[in-house]
Amino acid sequence: MIRYILTKIKNKYKLYLCLVCGMVSMILVFSMIQMFRSGSLNKVIQAGFAKQNETSGVFPANISGETIVTELSLEEGLEKGVSIEDNINDQTDSYVKTWDSKLKLPVISDQRMLYYLNQRPETPYHGDSLVLNLGCFDDGLEESKTESHFVLDAGAMFEGDISEYTASALEIPEGAYPAVVSRSTADKNDLVIGEILRFPLLVYSKDPGVKDPPVLTVYISGIVSERSGDYFWQRSLAKSTQMLILRKSDFMQICQEYSRPVKVEFYQSLDYRQITSENVESVRASLASIRKKDDKVKENLTPVLTKYKVESRSVQQMVYVIVLPLAVLIITFIGLISFRIIESETRELQTLRDRGLSKIRLIETYFLSSLLLSQISVPIGLLLGYWFGKMVAGVDDFMGFSAVGRINVSDYVFTPAMIVGAEIAALIGILINLVPVILFFGRKKDQRRISIVPFWEKYFLDVILLVISVYLLFNYKKQLPILSESVMQGDGIDPVIFIDATLFLFACGLMMLRLIFYVIRILFKIGEKHFSAATYAGLLQIIRTRKSSGVISVFMVVMVAMSLFHANMARTINSNKEARLHHEIGADMVIREKWPITLVKSYDDEGNTVYNWRYTEPDAGLFRKFIEDGTFSSMTKVANDPDRMTVQGRDAKKKITGVQLMGINTKEFGLTADMKNGLNEEHFYTYLNQLAAVRDGVIISSNLAQQLEVKVGDQVSCSFIPPSVTGMKNPYASANVKVVAVVDAWPGYNRYIYKQNEEGKIEEKEGYLVVMNYAYVNATYGLFPYDIWTKTDTAYKPFKETLKEAMKNASDKEERELSELLSTENEIAKEKETAIIQITNGLFTSDFLIALMLSLIGYMIYWITSIRDRELLFGICRAMGISGKEVNQMILMEQLFLSFMSITAGVGAGMITSRFFAPVFAAVYLPQKHSVGVFVTSIKADAVRLGLVLAVAVIACIIWIRRILKSLNITRALKLGED
Amino acid sequence: MEQEYIITTESLVKSYRLGDGSDLTVLDHMDLKLPKGQLIMIMGRSGSGKTTLINVLSTLDGFNEGSIRLLDQEYSTMNEAAKEKLRRYQMGFVFQSVALIPAMTAYENVDFGLRTAGVKKGRHERIQEVLEIVGLADRGNHYPVQLSGGERQRIAIARAMAHRPPVLFADEPTGALDTESGHRIADLFLDLAHKEGLSIIMTTHDIRLSEKADVLIRL
């Protein structure tokens, strides 16, 4: 049987090769989506930790616990020959090992704090008023490195000469232990280097019978701080404001001599990079179990992982629903090829049946051949899936391959799930491959009923699908605000949106095809009497064979429609995100520097504390040199305060607080800022000119104008409150200004502000804006930090280093520090690496390429086999005297009509779907309202690219068919027909 | 009255080059005079050269030596386009494999034949007429798949004769049919030859059919 199968495959190698192409594509897609799924989920996890780090300022994967090692257990240990150190370590390790065994995450740092709690020392200066903890730190990973985590600010690290820090010659009592303290401990407790502390309340337990037991004595040898950027300090040293830090060996010695319970706090930083989509659930469950077992355990991973659980749902849904149309397309392709194979083997099958082979036996041969081909396809599909997945994950736009290599794709790795995906795809491939042979045997032999109408046309499947999808679309459109909110709250995406888009796309494509067929039939009816034989035969062939050719037509339609729709959606999402970022940042790059502020405390007449403040302006000349060397083509100062302005209209009752104030130099601002056209009634230069003309003029946002019921020409009162650091809430300066313009949008201002409330829900708030002349702002409200807005095409990363270096070398007295460097280019690049955008660009691109490849193969194989099947017919036509040229014309017309029809229907369906579904998709991808409203981007180049590829396919097909026809020998064709 | 001939051949030679380089002569200096308006049957065993002869006579295949004339037209002076024209306007073809276009109804298949021959007027009437002649006037709207083998062959005959060619070539037209259908086709040919004045040249290996021939050529 194997030999028979191999011979069969060899004889029809072209068709079987196509089948393998289909199976490889399916395996590629199924394995690739597994890679995308896990890669995207990994990205979501890592992005969650990065965000947590950014917002909280602490390492995002800490776990801590505490225990008390009682003096009794220490004594019992000693009796059993277990040293104090080993005893404490054993008891601590029992916790840590549980974490380790459950979480299975590498530990980056292991900070341990061992101490006697609340000890009261006596000192010559403080008497017995101090309450201190006496203990040591320990590096749980490498004890010998403990001291390396400290930086000695003053004195000595336990040992060394400290005489220069003491007022008089220091006499250290015999047996006194050296200790270091943090600056905060020293400041809070007024401790100084050389200070001697005695602990008379600690009972000397080593030898209870001894007379005059020694009193534990400690002296301060140095002031220490934590080494900057050291992961060891999960619990900051600055927080240990009561700790006398001893050497560990000394503290162990003390524990032997002065029996007290030892409190142990341990802090571990875990390598969260090892948390992946594969182990995330087990880590989450383990953390829950650890916390349940010990309520003193604290960790900050769970909020990130809980958020991930919600987000992961959306990500997974998105991965699956985006490839859904492609999966349908590939299944159709495999079905198409399988039907062709059965058609080409019909006679052979009938002969074998006549010779007595059972149906089961014949189906078995097809099953075995499918199994063989699918298993050949699995390794190929897997390898291609891995390679292709990596490649498309690196695109930064729809078909944006220029970014491959720049975009980080390290999260997209080979996973065992890919093999599972591949085998599922292979199984589906086998089942689809068996459908035609089963149907063949189920068919009645004498089937004389003629059906030229495809089933979807006959049963109005297109209309039904269209009605369903339009109904769903209508409902979604009604619920857009709810939909956006649910996405914002992280409740996931409704996958039906994507399915609905696919349904609509199919329905639209089929409907267009139906309409085009109607047009052809009308044309045929009109010209029927006058057509030449070739035109007559060609048109009838198109009309009557649309049931069989319909499959390839539907395939082409859906491919073109899907490709255009996906291209438009990806372009729309990318361009909207980019436009929003451009608008929010306002310029190519915005430099925000930390301004030193001097606060002077005083009291008002009523005795309340008030502050006078003064900002020190860093030398802006530093930035001028970037203009000189051409790094910036322009720059401007923008005094930008987010919320300290209060604006009042004529009606004193109407007052809006928390308004954003922007002080600008109109000319420079115009040259530097970015503003998308069409967001306001006029170009923004018009408003800048209006502001420039009025010294005390103000441009206000339209929502502010609406709230205060003011218009251009009205006066408004703008009061400014002191900086938040002063804690003062009353305005210190106020001015009446004239409204010169009302705008809907402005660079650097977004009307909609989204913040998380205490319940963790995202809330929408209106943002208001006033824009004044910079000089007027300075004169009225004093100097406050401004941003430097720049127009530049310099790359973010190298420029940041250059800027930092320039700041370091600046001649300012105070050390200059960069607070923030916002770059549109960098923010866009970061956005491109988010899981959702990477899925969208990557999968839409892969869908397009795979669909295109399959369409080309499907289209060519359909035509080639169709021509081969009709060789006899063409032989007869030639015998009847129809010239080769006319036969060519007949085929060409048929081919052009079908491909032209399909492409036209596809383009129509793609455009209509894009038009209707863009707002719904925007609710998913761009749920937040924005001053830059959602706009649909459709790039003609995509359609041209698609058209060119298809044109090449059609031309290749025509050339191939001409070759076949040219080599057509009439008598041989007739002979073959007779055979 | 002097006998008119539809086709005449003189010293017709047709040979094939075999794989070993030697030549196989199938038609060796054949002289034929085929009378007009008669049913001419070429009979012989398999491999005797029946199909080769009919293919050569109908210009589907070339020949090596000699001459062939259809009425007053000499084949050897014709290029491929002229032969196509000849087949298109002056010949009709019926093949063993029922060569109807599956996407067309019986009516449309005949119409296709007429359009091929450049007939622009009176097509509908002629189609009805020929369908009547072949006895399938009521099956015009049927697709080939809805017809029996014999019916399909009769539609093929209708298509071949619709444009009134002087000669109709039929290569084993009854080969794929049962005996009864075969005889009905032969009777139809006889009728067409005698009543319509059509010259019909057909091949067959069925000795019983050969009894119906006006002229029998044995190979």
Q: Tell me the nearest-neighbour CA distance from A434 into chain B, angstroms.
A: 26
For residue A53, give its domain range: 1-60+307-449
Contact indicator for A587, A824 with CB cutoff of 8 Å: yes
Contact indicator for A191, A114 with CB cutoff of 8 Å: no
Contact B61 A974 (CB under 8 A): no
Contact A971 B61 (CB under 8 A): yes
Which tens digit of pLDDT belongs to each residue from B67-107? 898 888 888 888 888 888 888 888 888 877 657 888 889 99
**Residue A210 region, left (φ>0) first, then alpha (ψ -120 to 50), else beta?**
beta
Contact A450 B145 (CB under 8 A): yes
Give bridge partners of residue A700 from the DSSP assignment: A742, A770
DSSP code at position A610: E
Boundary-marking domain end, from A385, A420, A449:
A449
User: Do residue A581 and residue A620 come from a single domain?
Assistant: no
User: Do residue A317 and residue A438 come from a single domain?
Assistant: yes
DSSP code at position A204: B
Dist CA A670 CA A699 (whole Å) = 14
Domain chopping of chain B, boundaries: 5-218
Contact indicator for A204, A258 with CB cutoff of 8 Å: yes
Which value, in Å, is the radius of gyration of the alpha carbons in chain B?
Answer: 17
Which tens digit of pLDDT belongs to each residue from A71-103? 888 888 888 888 888 888 888 888 888 888 888
> CA-nearest residue of chain B to A979?
B97
Contact B104 A971 (CB under 8 A): no
Judged by a CB distance cut-off of 8 A, whether residue B151 touches chain A is no
Does residue A188 form part of some domain? yes
Contact B97 A872 (CB under 8 A): yes
- Quick check: helix, strand or coil at residue B42? strand
Which tens digit of pLDDT belongs to each residue from B14-65? 888 887 778 888 888 888 888 888 899 888 887 788 888 888 898 888 888 8
Q: Which residues are within 8 A (CB) of A228 and not within 5 positions of it... i.e. 6 or more apart? A: A151
User: Do residue A767 and residue A624 come from a single domain?
Assistant: yes
Boundary-marking domain end, from A783, A816, A849:
A816
Q: Which residues are within 8 A (CB) of A477 and not within 5 positions of it... i.e. 6 or more apart? A: A919, A920
Q: Cα–Cα–Cα angle for A930, A936, A939, nearest 5°?
A: 135
Side-chain-side CA neighbours of A670 within 13 Å: the count stands at 13
Distances, alpha carbon A514 to alpha carbons A335, A545, A547, A557, A970, in Å: 22, 14, 12, 12, 37
Contact B81 A883 (CB under 8 A): yes
Tokens of B165: 């060619």
Please tell me which of the candidates A450, A537, A878 has its beta carbon nearest to residue B143: A450
pLDDT at residue A839, rounded to an integer? 84
pLDDT at residue A771, rounded to an integer? 96
Judged by a CB distance cut-off of 8 A, whether residue B5 touches chain A is no
Tokens of A823: 């770059």
Q: Which residues are within 8 A (CB) of B75 and not within 5 positions of it... i.e. 6 or more apart? A: B59, B63, B67, B68, B69, B83
Contact A872 B112 (CB under 8 A): no
Q: Which residues are within 8 A (CB) of B3 and not within 5 positions of it... i.e. 6 or more apart? A: B33, B35
Which residues in A lie closer than 8 A to residue B93 (C-beta atoms)? 876, 879-880
Judged by a CB distance cut-off of 8 A, whether residue A405 touches chain B is no
pLDDT at residue A31, rounded to an integer? 94
3-state secondary structure string across A713-736:
CCEEEEEECCCHHHCCCCCCEEEE
Say which residue the tokens 């298109």 belong to.
B88
- Quick check: helix, strand or coil at residue A218? strand
Give bridge partners of residue A592 from the DSSP assignment: A820
Does residue A295 form part of some domain? no
Q: Count of CB atoms within 10 A of residue A978's CB?
A: 16
Judged by a CB distance cut-off of 8 A, whether residue A734 touches chain B is no
User: Do residue A687 and residue A621 come from a single domain?
Assistant: yes
Contact indicator for A617, A782 with CB cutoff of 8 Å: no
Contact B93 A873 (CB under 8 A): no
Does residue A301 form part of some domain? no
Dist CA A264 CA A267 (whole Å) = 10
Does residue A874 form part of some domain? yes
Judged by a CB distance cut-off of 8 A, whether residue B97 touches chain A is yes
DSSP code at position A595: P
* A residues 784-803 closer than 8 Å to B (CB): none
User: Do residue A521 and residue A613 come from a single domain?
Assistant: no
Dist CA B61 CA B80 (whole Å) = 11
User: Do residue A767 and residue A854 come from a single domain?
Assistant: no
> CA-nearest residue of chain A to B168?
A880
Dist CA A251 CA A158 (whole Å) = 12
Q: Tell me the nearest-neighbour CA distance from B2 into chain A, angstroms.
A: 31
Testing the interface with B: which of A541, A889, A978 to mutate, by most B Cβ within 10 A? A978
- Quick check: helix, strand or coil at residue A661? strand
Please tell me which of the candidates A532, A537, A977 has its beta carbon nearest to residue B101: A537
User: Do residue A777 and residue A648 come from a single domain?
Assistant: yes
Please tell me which of the candidates A452, A543, A978 has its beta carbon nearest to residue B97: A978
Judged by a CB distance cut-off of 8 A, whether residue B86 touches chain A is yes
Contact B89 A880 (CB under 8 A): no
User: Do residue A371 and residue A249 come from a single domain?
Assistant: no
Residue B120 burial class via C-beta count within 10 angstroms: exposed 0-12, middle 13-18, buried 19 and up: exposed
Testing the interface with A: which of B88, B141, B167 to mutate, by most A Cβ within 10 A? B88
> CA-nearest residue of chain B to A975?
B97
The number of folded domains in chain A is 4
Tokens of B169: 């070539």
User: Do residue A676 and residue A581 come from a single domain?
Assistant: no
Side-chain-side CA neighbours of A71 within 13 Å: the count stands at 14
Which residues in A lie closer than 8 A to residue B115 (C-beta atoms)? 531-533, 536
User: Do residue A657 and residue A554 come from a single domain?
Assistant: no
Give bridge partners of residue A150 from the DSSP assignment: A226
Which residues in B lie closer than 8 A to residue A882 (C-beta atoms)? 84, 88, 116
Which residues in B lie closer than 8 A to residue A541 (C-beta atoms)? 101, 103
- Quick check: helix, strand or coil at residue A935? coil
Which residues in A lie closer than 8 A to residue B99 (C-beta atoms)? 872-873, 876, 977
Q: Count of CB atoms within 10 A of residue A4's CB?
A: 12
Q: What percent of chain B has pLDDT over 70?
A: 98
Which residues in A lie closer than 8 A to residue B106 (C-beta atoms)? none
> CA-nearest residue of chain B to A546?
B103
- Quick check: helix, strand or coil at residue A137? strand
pTM: 0.76
pLDDT at residue B2, rounded to an integer? 64
Dist CA B52 CA A393 (whole Å) = 64
Q: Count of CB atoms within 10 A of residue A447's CB?
A: 9
User: Do residue A429 and residue A473 come from a single domain?
Assistant: no
Tokens of B175: 């080969």
What is the amino acid identity at position A194? Answer: G
pLDDT at residue A700, rounded to an integer? 95
- Quick check: helix, strand or coil at residue A206? coil
Dist CA A934 CA A241 (whole Å) = 53
Does residue A193 form part of some domain? yes
Which tens digit of pLDDT belongs to each residue from B161-179? 888 888 999 888 877 677 7
Q: Which residues are within 8 A (CB) of A502 and not within 5 positions of it... i.e. 6 or more apart? A: A321, A324, A325, A328
User: Do residue A191 and residue A71 come from a single domain?
Assistant: yes
Judged by a CB distance cut-off of 8 A, whether residue B79 touches chain A is no
Dist CA A478 CA B119 (whole Å) = 62
Q: Tell me the nearest-neighbour CA distance from A347 into chain B, angstroms.
A: 15
Does residue A382 form part of some domain? yes
Tokens of B70: 């259809």
**Helix or strand holding residue A538 (H, E):** helix A533-544
**Residue A649 region, left (φ>0) first, then alpha (ψ -120 to 50), else beta?**
beta
Dist CA A547 CA A529 (whole Å) = 25
- Quick check: helix, strand or coil at residue A811? coil
Dist CA A837 CA A924 (whole Å) = 12
Dist CA A745 CA A681 (whole Å) = 10
Dist CA A698 CA A712 (whole Å) = 9
The torsion angles phi and psi of B178, rounded to 5 degrees, stand at -75, 170
Torsion over CA: A539, A540, A546, A549 (sign): negative
Judged by a CB distance cut-off of 8 A, whether residue A424 touches chain B is no
In 3D, which of A769, A770, A765 has the Cα closest to residue A929? A765
Does residue A118 form part of some domain? yes
- The segments of chain A whose pLDDT lies below 70 read 167-170, 443-451, 490, 492-493, 760, 811-814, 869, 872, 968-979
User: What is the ipTM metric for this complex?
Assistant: 0.84
Distances, alpha carbon A172 to alpha carbons A130, A519, A791, in Å: 20, 107, 65
Q: Count of CB atoms within 10 A of residue A123's CB?
A: 18
Torsion over CA: A806, A812, A813, A814 (sign): negative
Which tens digit of pLDDT belongs to each residue from A695-722? 999 999 999 999 999 999 999 999 999 8
Does residue A293 form part of some domain? no
Q: Tell me the nearest-neighbour CA distance from A425 into chain B, angstroms.
A: 37
Judged by a CB distance cut-off of 8 A, whether residue B164 touches chain A is no
pLDDT at B154 over 90: no
**Helix or strand holding residue A591 (H, E):** strand A589-593
Which value, in Å, is the radius of gyration of the alpha carbons in chain A?
Answer: 39
Dist CA B129 CA B165 (whole Å) = 15
Contact B87 A881 (CB under 8 A): yes
**Residue A252 region, left (φ>0) first, then alpha (ψ -120 to 50), else beta?**
alpha
Which tens digit of pLDDT belongs to each residue from B122-138? 899 999 988 988 888 88
Tokens of A536: 């007559």
Fold of B5-218: Rossmann fold (3.40.50)
Per-residue b or e along A129-152, where b marks 16 or more CB atoms closer than 10 Å to that residue's CB: ebebbbbbbbbbeeeeebbebbeb
Q: Tell me the nearest-neighbour CA distance from B153 into chain A, angstroms.
A: 13
pLDDT at residue A979, rounded to an integer? 47
Tokens of A806: 């320039």
**Helix or strand holding residue A906 (H, E):** helix A884-925
Ordered DSSP codes for B162-177: HT--SEEEEESTTTTS
Q: Tell me the nearest-neighbour CA distance from A323 into chain B, angstroms.
A: 37
Testing the interface with B: which of A445, A532, A880 to mutate, by most B Cβ within 10 A? A880
Boundary-marking domain end, from A208, A241, A270:
A270
Tokens of A666: 């109109």
